[in-house]
A and B are shown apart, each in its own frame.
Chain A
Amino acid sequence: MASPTAAMAPTLERFADNVWLRFGLRRLGRLLVSVWVLLTAAFLMIHLIPGDPVRAALGIAAPPELVAARREALGLNDPLWLQYVHYLRDLFTGDLGVSTITGLPVAQVIGDRLPATVELALGGFGLAVAIAVPLGLGMAVLTRGGRRRQAELAFTSSSVLLAAVPEFLVAVGLVYVFSVALGWAPVAGRSSPDSYILPIVALAVGPAAALARIVRVETLSVLQADFIRTARAKRLPDRLVYARHALPNALTATITIGGLLLSGLVAGTVLVENVFAWPGLGSTIVQSILAKDYPVVQAVVLVYGLGVLVVNLAVDVTLALLDPRSTIRES
């Protein structure tokens, strides 16, 4: 009786490992394809600009010799495939080119600006999650089974409203109230710790409201589930029923949408940075687009794109860890 099952165990374990391996390979393949598409799109972006980007950047008054020299320096006279090969080679050696406006290496510009943006995005996401998960869970517990209709109405309508207001308008409103009217926070710039408060809050408000709604809806449906009844039949204390049994199951659906919000939040930094004159990538890309500084634009687009892809990867891996069934499901 015991021996056949014992012999079967390793095989089954190998199968379990395989599920994770297959998931990893599939996910890695998708990531590589996405990265390749992103790199190629960023390359083509420069070549799809109508007219001559060098002429556009230098202005109509620039002498033709200068334009020709700059074209030669940027390798724009080579055949397209050769330019593509050089572009990929340069990327992998970390050479992102030189800013046409300031003459600084683009890699240095990115290195200077990226940390400020990452701080904002992570701070905003952290705050959004820290507000949304307890709020959504709490509202679900309070309003389950049609209880407290008033509270439910207040919560849903205010969260819809907050989620609909774009972050740069929230930012302007916050600046008006807390910097202009109350004088509690600096109006712009990145200096003291309190200069972080308004930008991060501005970024977090919308996603927090949207996420809290989702957490509540998901938790409500999970609270109906049979396994919650089982947990209650085990007479677990309420906090364990909600935190251990309801929350992880509500989160699996939440994380998918939370991931979308996070990548939206990465993009939202562009607007918020411009409101607060935040020295990050967001203000850099706008200035560079306006100044037609294409090497910088290209590099910032790449960084933002990679950021989004990394977020999506993190979401999928977290999902797989939280709900092992998702590794088997076809993505």
Chain B
Amino acid sequence: MRSRWGSVLRTPVGVSAAALLAAVLLLAVLAPLVWSAEADAIDTGSILRGSSAEHSMGTDNLGRDIFARVMVATRLSVVLALVATSIGVLAGLVLGTAPLVLGARAGRIVTAAVNIAVAFPGLLLALFFAVIFGVGATGALLAIGFAIAPGFARLTQTLVARVAGLDFVAAARLAGVGRARLIVRHILPNIGEPLMVNATIAAGNTLLAFAGLSFLGLGVQPPAYDWGRLLGDGLGGIYIHPAAALAPGVAVVVAGLAFNLFGEAMAKGIGRQTAAVPVRRWRRPAATPVQRVPGPDAVLAVEGLRVSFPGPVTPVRGVGFTVRRGEAVGIVGESGSGKTLTALAIARLIEEPGEVSADRLQFLGKDLRIGSGPALRRLLGTSLAMVFQDPTTSFNPTRRMGRQLAEVAEVHQGLGRRPALARAVDRLRAVRIPAAERRARQFPHEFSGGMRQRAMIGMGLMGTPALIVADEPTTALDVTVQKQVLRLLERIRADDSVAILLISHDIAVVREVCDRVLVMYAGRIVEELPAADMHRLARHPYTRALLAAVPDMTTDRDRPLAAIPGRPADPTRLPVGCAFAPRCPLADEQCVREDPPLVADVLGHRVACWHADLVVGEPR
């Protein structure tokens, strides 16, 4: 608790707010002692004077010094605000804990009344109560106090509901602790902090509200005066004597802000989490990529792709591969291996502050590294389709499904509203959405998960895609639906020879759909091999470990499943040598010292390992 208050005072805003608040409170105590005589001294010889050496802000209509009056008014203004706030907080606490004390039925009536009262703005409630309690300081105190009570009642209810569900309260209740005791001993201490914060902010608002009521003539009555009264009296003469209206106005704003800012600083200090862990600098030259010329049928050619973020962190470090027409390529790896970032970088969807660089990034022969004009946007919008992991969050919840598909055709193919929608319905039909016409008029939340993902694929089919990048397209789906989505992707690929880049942590999914598999570890491709014969061909220890972790028909069911020991590499602190070395059973001194390059054999099978030809467990 103390350290929290300390943290409030350590921020610049917290310190200045605290200093300002202390000054206001000090002034409230001292000002009447210092300036009272001057403030009340009537001097008919100098009425409504401007500022002079004698009166720094001039005089009012009885020749009294305005500066002194503003200073003296501090006490009454602050005291009234604090008393009104206390009334409001107390009334709010009573109303807010009433459901607990009175039991369910009476509690519901109180809650309903609070809910209705909360809907009305405070000033309106204050005017309502001011009518009942009468014009004057006491009436205004009660009026403002009762006006802020519903807000506090609501806050108390919310806080109590949160605390009342906790174990220790349930335990106390079971132990037979009475209701009143339960509230005072167990609940109030646990909701004290947020209440204090809100009460401080409320005190600032109360000060402003009181000034408002006094300004209207409904609050403090002469001969007593607070800032609102002084402001109201000064406003009439603002043409000849602006200081009389402005000085109390400035005082109200400063004092109100002192309370408000201090409350906000308290709220921040209490809500503050531990400071962010400093990020280590990562310094390591990129591994030289294998330069290869992409064939004429290459849909996508990537060389030396790097994605970095300020820190600096480089989660993708020199990735290179090619996807040919109609080919299905999978990227597998643990989470954090950089596969999703690779996909986003290819699709040019990495946002600032992320940075993408590449030696080659070609899509359908176009260099994606340069330019961003409408022509390139149209090419990507119609030829590169994206399917994301979570279909629930990947659709705009406020737009109808059909329109979300149709806008692709509207923007890129220049179709009108109706033809675009017709195409959207046709595409929904193509991904086997039943009753597509009606479904197109529905919102995403009315679709099931599998249907949403099929609709997402349908959205990619609005153009004539050459490549579908599917990032974990089945991870968020039920097992039964997973199959449907994968089969749909396969069918689209077969029908229109669309290339697919399938990203998954699930090696079984990739093996089922893809021709070729890229295995990523710590931002690099460590192996590239045909999907069909992975078990026999896998050479990198990491690939073999991944494969061993997947049970198949030949797995001995009496033995525990293999797991890869150790933790995935931390991109902020990568070793100099092979990133997998700390977890690798084959690692030796060379692996720790030097990062192995990605080397291709005659068949195009690539692997980055110093010991690619050794088998785990074999003596070297």
Contact = CB atoms under 8 A, between A and B. Distances in A.
A225 B381 contact: no
A165 B217 CA distance: 20
A232 B386 CA distance: 10
Contacts of B396: 227, 230-231, 245, 248-249
B434 A323 contact: no
Given A226-B388, A271-B215, A305 B120 contact: yes
Given A234-B381, A234-B459, A49 B412 contact: no
A286 interface: yes
A151 interface: no
A289 B135 contact: yes
Contacts of B253: 164-165, 169
A176 B121 contact: no
A50 B231 CA distance: 30
A89 interface: no
Q: Provide the main secondary structure of the chain B interface.
A: helix
Given A176-B242, A227-B394, A308-B124, A168 B215 contact: yes
Contacts of A229: 349, 388, 394
A164 B257 contact: yes
A114 to B, nearest CB: 15
A226 B127 contact: no
A247 to B, nearest CB: 10
A237 to B, nearest CB: 7
B93 interface: no
B123 A268 contact: yes
Contact of A145 (B211, B249, B264, B352): B352
Contacts of A305: 120, 124
Contact of A235 (B204, B378, B397): B378
B116 interface: yes
B388 A230 contact: yes
A166 B128 contact: no
A252 B438 CA distance: 25
A267 B147 CA distance: 13
Interface in B391-450: 393-399, 407-408, 411-412, 434-435, 438, 443, 445-446
Contacts of B231: 169, 172
A101 interface: no
A145 B435 contact: no
Given A6-B435, A304-B124, A275 B398 contact: no
Contact of B239 (A8, A187, A323): A187
B116 A37 contact: yes
Interface in B539-583: none
Contact of B408 (A234, A244, A325): A234
B123 A286 contact: no
A133 interface: no
B246 A267 contact: no
A33 interface: yes
A297 B131 contact: yes
Contacts of A127: none
B435 A9 contact: yes
Contacts of B408: 234
Interface of A: 5-6, 8-9, 12-13, 16, 33-34, 37, 41, 45, 48-50, 145-147, 160-161, 164-166, 168-169, 172-173, 175-176, 180-181, 187, 225-227, 229-237, 240, 244-245, 248-249, 252, 260, 263-264, 266-268, 270-271, 274-275, 285-286, 289-290, 294, 297, 301, 304-305, 308-309, 312, 322-325
20 contacts: A145-B353, A147-B352, A147-B353, A164-B208, A169-B211, A172-B238, A173-B249, A176-B246, A229-B388, A229-B394, A234-B407, A235-B411, A237-B377, A268-B121, A286-B216, A289-B127, A289-B130, A304-B124, A323-B397, A324-B443
Interface of B: 112-113, 116, 119-124, 127-128, 130-132, 134-135, 204, 208-209, 211-212, 215-218, 231, 235, 238-239, 242, 245-246, 249, 252-253, 256-257, 260-261, 264, 347, 349, 351-353, 377-378, 380-381, 386, 388, 390, 393-399, 407-408, 411-412, 434-435, 438, 443, 445-446, 456, 459
